Protein backbone atom coordinates (compact mmCIF):
# COMPACT_ATOMS: atom_id res chain seq x y z
CA UNK A 1 0.00 0.00 0.00
CA UNK A 2 1.40 3.39 -0.96
CA UNK A 3 1.97 5.45 2.16
CA UNK A 4 3.59 8.40 0.45
CA UNK A 5 2.29 10.23 -2.58
CA UNK A 6 3.53 13.39 -4.28
CA UNK A 7 0.55 15.09 -5.89
CA UNK A 8 0.91 18.05 -8.22
CA UNK A 9 -2.21 20.23 -8.19
CA UNK A 10 -2.75 22.29 -11.34
CA UNK A 11 -6.08 23.94 -10.59
CA UNK A 12 -6.11 26.14 -13.71
CA UNK A 13 -8.91 28.51 -14.67
CA UNK A 14 -12.49 29.40 -13.84
CA UNK A 15 -14.05 27.02 -11.34
CA UNK A 16 -10.90 24.87 -11.41
CA UNK A 17 -9.41 26.26 -8.15
CA UNK A 18 -12.76 26.06 -6.29
CA UNK A 19 -13.53 22.44 -7.10
CA UNK A 20 -9.92 21.24 -6.96
CA UNK A 21 -9.48 22.84 -3.54
CA UNK A 22 -12.35 20.69 -2.28
CA UNK A 23 -10.90 17.55 -3.88
CA UNK A 24 -7.62 18.26 -2.09
CA UNK A 25 -9.42 18.66 1.23
CA UNK A 26 -11.02 15.26 0.73
CA UNK A 27 -7.61 13.76 -0.06
CA UNK A 28 -6.19 15.38 3.07
CA UNK A 29 -8.85 13.79 5.24
CA UNK A 30 -8.21 10.41 3.63
CA UNK A 31 -4.50 10.83 4.37
CA UNK A 32 -5.19 11.83 7.93
CA UNK A 33 -7.58 8.97 8.58
CA UNK A 34 -5.36 6.36 6.96
CA UNK A 35 -2.05 7.68 8.20
CA UNK A 36 -0.80 8.35 4.67
CA UNK A 37 1.68 11.01 3.69
CA UNK A 38 0.20 12.93 0.75
CA UNK A 39 2.31 15.90 -0.29
CA UNK A 40 0.68 18.61 -2.37
CA UNK A 41 2.40 21.12 -4.59
CA UNK A 42 0.61 23.72 -6.71
CA UNK A 43 1.65 25.10 -10.09
CA UNK A 44 -0.14 27.22 -12.72
CA UNK A 45 -1.57 25.93 -16.01
CA UNK A 46 -3.87 27.37 -18.68
CA UNK A 47 -5.04 30.99 -18.70
CA UNK A 48 -3.62 31.82 -15.26
CA UNK A 49 -0.23 30.59 -16.48
CA UNK A 50 -0.48 32.73 -19.61
CA UNK A 51 -1.23 35.76 -17.43
CA UNK A 52 1.62 35.06 -15.02
CA UNK A 53 4.27 33.53 -17.29
CA UNK A 54 3.18 34.17 -20.88
CA UNK A 55 2.72 30.47 -21.61
CA UNK A 56 -0.10 28.00 -20.79
CA UNK A 57 2.37 25.34 -19.58
CA UNK A 58 5.46 26.84 -17.92
CA UNK A 59 8.56 24.62 -17.79
CA UNK A 60 8.40 24.69 -14.00
CA UNK A 61 4.87 23.25 -14.05
CA UNK A 62 5.86 20.50 -16.47
CA UNK A 63 8.94 19.64 -14.43
CA UNK A 64 6.90 19.45 -11.23
CA UNK A 65 4.37 17.23 -13.02
CA UNK A 66 7.04 14.81 -14.22
CA UNK A 67 8.48 14.78 -10.72
CA UNK A 68 5.15 13.84 -9.09
CA UNK A 69 3.31 10.54 -8.54
CA UNK A 70 0.03 11.96 -9.81
CA UNK A 71 -1.26 15.19 -11.31
CA UNK A 72 -4.65 16.57 -10.24
CA UNK A 73 -6.01 19.13 -12.69
CA UNK A 74 -9.01 21.43 -12.35
CA UNK A 75 -9.95 22.99 -15.68
CA UNK A 76 -8.44 25.26 -18.29
CA UNK A 77 -9.90 27.87 -20.61
CA UNK A 78 -11.26 31.38 -20.56
CA UNK A 79 -13.22 33.42 -23.08
CA UNK A 80 -10.71 36.22 -23.00
CA UNK A 81 -8.28 34.05 -24.98
CA UNK A 82 -10.81 33.13 -27.68
CA UNK A 83 -9.12 35.19 -30.38
CA UNK A 84 -5.78 33.39 -30.00
CA UNK A 85 -4.76 30.56 -32.32
CA UNK A 86 -5.14 27.06 -30.77
CA UNK A 87 -1.40 26.77 -30.13
CA UNK A 88 -1.41 29.81 -27.80
CA UNK A 89 -4.66 29.23 -25.93
CA UNK A 90 -5.01 27.88 -22.38
CA UNK A 91 -6.13 24.54 -23.86
CA UNK A 92 -2.71 24.14 -25.50
CA UNK A 93 -1.24 23.83 -22.00
CA UNK A 94 -3.59 20.97 -21.24
CA UNK A 95 -2.81 19.18 -24.50
CA UNK A 96 0.93 19.63 -23.89
CA UNK A 97 0.85 18.28 -20.34
CA UNK A 98 -1.22 15.31 -21.59
CA UNK A 99 1.34 14.63 -24.32
CA UNK A 100 4.35 15.03 -22.02
CA UNK A 101 2.93 12.81 -19.29
CA UNK A 102 2.16 10.26 -21.97
CA UNK A 103 -1.11 8.83 -20.68
CA UNK A 104 -3.05 7.64 -23.71
CA UNK A 105 -6.12 6.06 -22.10
CA UNK A 106 -8.59 8.50 -20.59
CA UNK A 107 -11.12 6.70 -18.40
CA UNK A 108 -14.41 8.54 -18.03
CA UNK A 109 -16.96 6.65 -15.96
CA UNK A 110 -20.54 7.78 -16.37
CA UNK A 111 -22.98 6.51 -13.85
CA UNK A 112 -26.67 7.11 -13.17
CA UNK A 113 -26.45 8.10 -9.51
CA UNK A 114 -29.34 6.79 -7.46
CA UNK A 115 -31.38 9.78 -6.42
CA UNK A 116 -30.27 11.92 -9.34
CA UNK A 117 -32.44 10.37 -12.03
CA UNK A 118 -34.97 13.18 -11.48
CA UNK A 119 -32.25 15.57 -12.51
CA UNK A 120 -31.73 13.99 -15.91
CA UNK A 121 -33.85 15.25 -18.79
CA UNK A 122 -34.15 11.55 -19.70
CA UNK A 123 -36.90 9.53 -18.05
CA UNK A 124 -35.81 7.72 -14.86
CA UNK A 125 -36.67 4.32 -16.34
CA UNK A 126 -34.23 5.03 -19.18
CA UNK A 127 -31.25 6.16 -17.10
CA UNK A 128 -31.59 4.21 -13.86
CA UNK A 129 -28.90 1.55 -13.62
CA UNK A 130 -26.78 2.96 -16.46
CA UNK A 131 -23.08 2.42 -15.78
CA UNK A 132 -20.73 3.21 -18.65
CA UNK A 133 -16.97 3.49 -18.73
CA UNK A 134 -15.69 5.53 -21.65
CA UNK A 135 -12.14 4.76 -22.67
CA UNK A 136 -11.14 7.76 -24.75
CA UNK A 137 -7.87 7.67 -26.69
CA UNK A 138 -6.18 10.90 -25.58
CA UNK A 139 -2.98 11.42 -27.56
CA UNK A 140 -3.93 10.92 -31.18
CA UNK A 141 -6.45 11.82 -33.83
CA UNK A 142 -7.36 15.36 -34.84
CA UNK A 143 -6.07 16.88 -31.62
CA UNK A 144 -2.46 16.03 -32.42
CA UNK A 145 -2.33 15.15 -36.14
CA UNK A 146 -0.23 17.09 -38.63
CA UNK A 147 -0.50 18.94 -40.95
CA UNK A 148 -2.75 21.46 -39.26
CA UNK A 149 -3.21 25.05 -40.31
CA UNK A 150 -5.55 27.94 -40.94
CA UNK A 151 -4.20 29.43 -44.14
CA UNK A 152 -5.76 32.88 -44.15
CA UNK A 153 -4.56 33.84 -47.60
CA UNK A 154 -6.12 30.75 -49.10
CA UNK A 155 -9.16 31.05 -46.82
CA UNK A 156 -8.82 27.41 -46.01
CA UNK A 157 -7.99 25.39 -42.89
CA UNK A 158 -7.17 21.77 -42.23
CA UNK A 159 -6.48 19.27 -39.47
CA UNK A 160 -5.37 15.68 -39.73
CA UNK A 161 -6.99 12.69 -38.12
CA UNK A 162 -4.19 10.15 -37.86
CA UNK A 163 -3.74 6.92 -35.93
CA UNK A 164 -1.15 4.20 -36.13
CA UNK A 165 -2.07 0.60 -35.52
CA UNK A 166 0.04 0.55 -32.35
CA UNK A 167 -1.79 3.55 -30.93
CA UNK A 168 -5.09 1.75 -31.42
CA UNK A 169 -3.81 -1.55 -30.03
CA UNK A 170 -2.59 -0.06 -26.76
CA UNK A 171 -5.80 1.80 -25.95
CA UNK A 172 -7.97 -1.11 -27.09
CA UNK A 173 -6.12 -3.39 -24.66
CA UNK A 174 -6.91 -1.02 -21.80
CA UNK A 175 -10.58 -1.13 -22.78
CA UNK A 176 -10.69 -4.94 -22.98
CA UNK A 177 -8.76 -5.36 -19.73
CA UNK A 178 -11.24 -3.11 -17.93
CA UNK A 179 -14.22 -4.83 -19.56
CA UNK A 180 -12.96 -8.16 -18.23
CA UNK A 181 -13.40 -6.80 -14.71
CA UNK A 182 -16.85 -5.37 -15.50
CA UNK A 183 -19.75 -6.67 -17.58
CA UNK A 184 -17.49 -8.00 -20.35
CA UNK A 185 -18.65 -5.90 -23.26
CA UNK A 186 -16.74 -3.38 -25.38
CA UNK A 187 -18.51 -1.05 -27.79
CA UNK A 188 -16.00 0.50 -30.20
CA UNK A 189 -17.05 3.78 -31.77
CA UNK A 190 -15.93 4.90 -35.22
CA UNK A 191 -17.05 6.35 -38.54
CA UNK A 192 -15.80 3.45 -40.65
CA UNK A 193 -18.44 4.07 -43.31
CA UNK A 194 -16.60 7.29 -44.26
CA UNK A 195 -13.12 7.53 -42.72
CA UNK A 196 -10.01 5.45 -43.50
CA UNK A 197 -8.76 6.15 -39.98
CA UNK A 198 -11.90 4.51 -38.65
CA UNK A 199 -11.40 1.51 -40.92
CA UNK A 200 -7.94 1.01 -39.44
CA UNK A 201 -9.45 1.55 -35.97
CA UNK A 202 -12.19 -1.05 -36.52
CA UNK A 203 -9.88 -3.66 -38.05
CA UNK A 204 -7.36 -3.24 -35.24
CA UNK A 205 -9.91 -3.39 -32.43
CA UNK A 206 -11.39 -6.52 -34.02
CA UNK A 207 -7.93 -8.12 -33.98
CA UNK A 208 -7.27 -7.17 -30.35
CA UNK A 209 -10.65 -8.63 -29.38
CA UNK A 210 -9.40 -12.09 -30.40
CA UNK A 211 -7.09 -12.01 -27.38
CA UNK A 212 -10.15 -11.54 -25.16
CA UNK A 213 -12.56 -14.36 -25.98
CA UNK A 214 -14.55 -13.67 -22.80
CA UNK A 215 -15.39 -10.11 -23.84
CA UNK A 216 -18.07 -9.32 -26.41
CA UNK A 217 -17.18 -6.67 -28.99
CA UNK A 218 -19.62 -4.53 -30.92
CA UNK A 219 -18.95 -1.66 -33.30
CA UNK A 220 -21.09 1.46 -33.56
CA UNK A 221 -20.88 4.45 -35.85
CA UNK A 222 -20.44 7.62 -33.83
CA UNK A 223 -23.63 9.28 -35.08
CA UNK A 224 -25.76 6.27 -34.19
CA UNK A 225 -23.94 5.96 -30.87
CA UNK A 226 -24.83 9.55 -29.95
CA UNK A 227 -28.48 8.55 -30.29
CA UNK A 228 -28.23 5.10 -28.65
CA UNK A 229 -26.57 6.64 -25.59
CA UNK A 230 -29.70 8.66 -24.97
CA UNK A 231 -32.19 5.95 -25.92
CA UNK A 232 -30.63 2.98 -24.17
CA UNK A 233 -27.72 4.00 -21.93
CA UNK A 234 -28.02 0.74 -20.00
CA UNK A 235 -26.91 -1.25 -23.06
CA UNK A 236 -23.31 -0.13 -22.69
CA UNK A 237 -20.44 -1.26 -20.50
CA UNK A 238 -17.04 -0.13 -21.82
CA UNK A 239 -17.19 2.33 -24.74
CA UNK A 240 -13.92 2.69 -26.66
CA UNK A 241 -13.43 5.82 -28.76
CA UNK A 242 -10.84 7.88 -30.57
CA UNK A 243 -9.98 11.28 -29.13
CA UNK A 244 -12.57 13.67 -30.59
CA UNK A 245 -15.47 11.20 -30.57
CA UNK A 246 -14.74 10.51 -26.90
CA UNK A 247 -14.65 14.21 -26.09
CA UNK A 248 -18.09 14.67 -27.59
CA UNK A 249 -19.76 11.51 -26.30
CA UNK A 250 -18.45 11.93 -22.75
CA UNK A 251 -20.05 15.37 -22.46
CA UNK A 252 -23.25 13.84 -23.79
CA UNK A 253 -23.01 11.25 -21.05
CA UNK A 254 -23.39 14.08 -18.55
CA UNK A 255 -27.08 13.86 -19.43
CA UNK A 256 -27.15 10.33 -18.02
CA UNK A 257 -25.63 11.37 -14.70
CA UNK A 258 -27.84 14.44 -14.59
CA UNK A 259 -24.97 16.92 -14.66
CA UNK A 260 -21.61 17.31 -16.34
CA UNK A 261 -20.42 18.39 -12.89
CA UNK A 262 -20.59 14.78 -11.69
CA UNK A 263 -18.09 13.29 -14.16
CA UNK A 264 -14.52 12.39 -13.18
CA UNK A 265 -11.66 11.14 -15.33
CA UNK A 266 -8.29 9.44 -15.06
CA UNK A 267 -5.64 9.26 -17.75
CA UNK A 268 -3.40 6.23 -17.46
CA UNK A 269 -0.67 4.46 -19.38
CA UNK A 270 2.02 7.16 -19.35
CA UNK A 271 4.86 8.24 -17.08
CA UNK A 272 2.57 9.99 -14.60
CA UNK A 273 -1.20 9.60 -14.44
CA UNK A 274 -3.32 12.70 -14.91
CA UNK A 275 -6.65 13.24 -13.16
CA UNK A 276 -9.18 15.81 -14.28
CA UNK A 277 -12.94 16.21 -14.09
CA UNK A 278 -14.69 16.10 -17.47
CA UNK A 279 -16.32 19.51 -17.01
CA UNK A 280 -14.66 22.71 -18.18
CA UNK A 281 -13.69 25.96 -16.46
CA UNK A 282 -17.25 27.39 -16.57
CA UNK A 283 -16.12 31.05 -16.37
CA UNK A 284 -19.75 32.19 -16.10
CA UNK A 285 -20.10 30.72 -12.60
CA UNK A 286 -16.47 31.00 -11.48
CA UNK A 287 -15.81 32.65 -8.13
CA UNK A 288 -19.44 32.41 -7.05
CA UNK A 289 -18.93 29.36 -4.87
CA UNK A 290 -21.74 27.48 -6.57
CA UNK A 291 -19.84 25.00 -8.76
CA UNK A 292 -20.41 21.29 -8.18
CA UNK A 293 -17.28 19.86 -6.54
CA UNK A 294 -18.37 16.22 -6.92
CA UNK A 295 -16.73 15.66 -10.32
CA UNK A 296 -13.42 16.83 -8.84
CA UNK A 297 -13.93 14.79 -5.65
CA UNK A 298 -14.72 11.67 -7.68
CA UNK A 299 -11.60 12.43 -9.70
CA UNK A 300 -9.63 12.36 -6.43
CA UNK A 301 -11.13 8.91 -5.80
CA UNK A 302 -9.81 7.76 -9.17
CA UNK A 303 -6.39 9.12 -8.21
CA UNK A 304 -6.40 6.96 -5.09
CA UNK A 305 -7.50 3.95 -7.13
CA UNK A 306 -5.06 4.22 -10.03
CA UNK A 307 -2.03 5.99 -8.55
CA UNK A 308 -2.02 4.82 -4.95
CA UNK A 309 -3.68 1.41 -5.07
CA UNK A 310 -6.02 2.63 -2.33
CA UNK A 311 -9.12 0.93 -3.70
CA UNK A 312 -10.90 0.88 -0.36
CA UNK A 313 -10.48 4.62 0.15
CA UNK A 314 -11.49 5.31 -3.45
CA UNK A 315 -14.65 3.27 -3.00
CA UNK A 316 -15.30 5.03 0.32
CA UNK A 317 -15.26 8.44 -1.38
CA UNK A 318 -17.63 7.15 -4.06
CA UNK A 319 -19.91 5.72 -1.38
CA UNK A 320 -19.84 9.03 0.50
CA UNK A 321 -20.85 10.90 -2.68
CA UNK A 322 -23.59 8.35 -3.29
CA UNK A 323 -24.82 8.83 0.28
CA UNK A 324 -25.00 12.61 0.26
CA UNK A 325 -26.58 12.70 -3.18
CA UNK A 326 -29.03 10.02 -2.09
CA UNK A 327 -29.94 12.12 0.93
CA UNK A 328 -30.82 15.02 -1.33
CA UNK A 329 -27.70 17.20 -1.18
CA UNK A 330 -27.73 19.39 -4.29
CA UNK A 331 -25.55 22.06 -5.82
CA UNK A 332 -27.33 24.40 -8.23
CA UNK A 333 -26.62 22.24 -11.30
CA UNK A 334 -28.23 19.26 -9.55
CA UNK A 335 -31.27 21.08 -8.23
CA UNK A 336 -33.27 20.73 -11.42
CA UNK A 337 -36.35 18.58 -11.01
CA UNK A 338 -35.87 17.97 -7.30
CA UNK A 339 -38.67 19.18 -5.09
CA UNK A 340 -37.70 22.37 -3.31
CA UNK A 341 -34.14 21.27 -2.77
CA UNK A 342 -31.92 23.13 -0.42
CA UNK A 343 -29.19 24.35 -2.75
CA UNK A 344 -25.70 23.94 -1.31
CA UNK A 345 -22.58 25.92 -2.08
CA UNK A 346 -19.40 24.27 -3.35
CA UNK A 347 -17.90 24.14 0.14
CA UNK A 348 -21.11 22.98 1.82
CA UNK A 349 -21.46 20.09 -0.62
CA UNK A 350 -17.84 19.06 -0.14
CA UNK A 351 -18.19 19.31 3.65
CA UNK A 352 -21.09 16.86 3.48
CA UNK A 353 -18.91 14.40 1.59
CA UNK A 354 -16.11 14.71 4.16
CA UNK A 355 -18.64 14.25 6.94
CA UNK A 356 -19.97 11.08 5.32
CA UNK A 357 -16.39 9.81 4.96
CA UNK A 358 -15.62 10.54 8.60
CA UNK A 359 -18.77 8.79 9.81
CA UNK A 360 -17.56 5.68 8.05
CA UNK A 361 -14.36 5.53 10.07
CA UNK A 362 -15.51 7.37 13.15
CA UNK A 363 -12.84 10.01 12.59
CA UNK A 364 -13.38 13.65 13.40
CA UNK A 365 -14.32 16.05 10.62
CA UNK A 366 -11.75 18.65 9.67
Known catalytic residues are 143, 191, 223, 247, 251
Which region holds residue 67: left if phi is over 0, alpha if psi is between -120 and 50, else beta? alpha
- Shortest CB 279 distance to Mn ion, Å: 8
Q: Which is nearer to ligand IPM, 276 or 313 (CB)?
A: 276
Rounded to a whole number of angstroms, the minimum distance from the CB of residue 47 to ligand IPM is 11
Which parts of 208-247 interact with ligand IPM (CB under 6 A)?
A: 247
State which residue, 142 or 358, has the beta carbon closest to ligand IPM.
142
| Residues 11-70 within binding reach of ligand IPM (CB under 6 A) | none
* Residue 303 partner contact from Mn ion, ligand IPM, none using kind-dependent CB cut-offs of 5 to 8 Å: none
CB of 90 to ligand IPM, least distance (A): 8
Q: For Mn ion, how many residues bind (rule: CB under 5 A)? A: 1
Which of residues 256 and 278 has its CB atom nearest to ligand IPM in the complex?
278
The verdict on 237 binding Mn ion (CB under 5 A) reads no
CB of 170 vs ligand IPM, minimal distance in Å: 19
State the minimum distance, in angstroms, from the CB of residue 106 to Mn ion. 10
Smallest gap from residue 357 Cβ to ligand IPM (A): 27
CB atoms within 10 A of CB 326: 12
Nearer to ligand IPM among residue 76 and residue 127 (C-beta): 76
Give the range of 65-73, 111-119, 133-141, 239-247 binding Mn ion by CB under 5 A.
Answer: 239-247
Residue 247 is a binding residue for Mn ion (CB under 5 A): yes
Contact partner, 43, from Mn ion, ligand IPM, none, Cβ < 5-8 Å per class: none
If the CB atoms of residues 6 and 96 are measured against Mn ion, the closer one turns out to be 96
| Binding characters for ligand IPM, 65-104, by CB under 6 A (x = yes) | -----------xx-------------x--x----------
Given the complex with ligand IPM, which of 117 and 273 has the nearer CB atom?
A: 273
3-state secondary structure the chain: CCCEEEEEEEEECCCHHHHHHHHHHHHHHHHHHHCCEEEEEECCCCHHHHHHHCCCCCHHHHHHHHCCCEEEEEECCCHHHCCCCHHHCHHHHHHHHHHHHCCCEEEEEEECCCCCHHHCCCCHHHHCCCEEEEEEECCCHHHCCCCCEEECCCCEEECCCCCCHHHHHHHHHHHHHHHHCCCCEEEEEECCCCCHHHHHHHHHHHHHHCCCCCCEEEEEEHHHHHHHHHHCHHHCCEEEECHHHHHHHHHHCHHHHCCHHHCCCEEECCCCEEECCCCCCCHHHCCCCCCCCHHHHHHHHHHHHHHCCCHHHHHHHHHHHHHHHHCCCECHHHCCCCCCCCECCHHHHHHHHHHHHHHHHCCCCC
> Which residues make up the interface to Mn ion (CB under 5 A)?
247
> Which residues make up the interface to ligand IPM (CB under 6 A)?
76-77, 91, 94, 247, 278, 280
Amino acid sequence: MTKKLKILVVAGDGIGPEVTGEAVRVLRSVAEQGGYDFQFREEPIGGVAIDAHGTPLPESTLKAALDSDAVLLGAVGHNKFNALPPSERPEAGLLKIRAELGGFANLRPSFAWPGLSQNSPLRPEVVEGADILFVRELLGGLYFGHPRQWDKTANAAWNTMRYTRDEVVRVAKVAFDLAQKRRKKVTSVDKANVLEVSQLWRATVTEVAKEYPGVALEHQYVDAMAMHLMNQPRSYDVVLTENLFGDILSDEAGVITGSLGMLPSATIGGKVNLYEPVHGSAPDIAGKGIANPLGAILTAAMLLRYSAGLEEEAAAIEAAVKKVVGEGARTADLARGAEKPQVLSTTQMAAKVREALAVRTGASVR
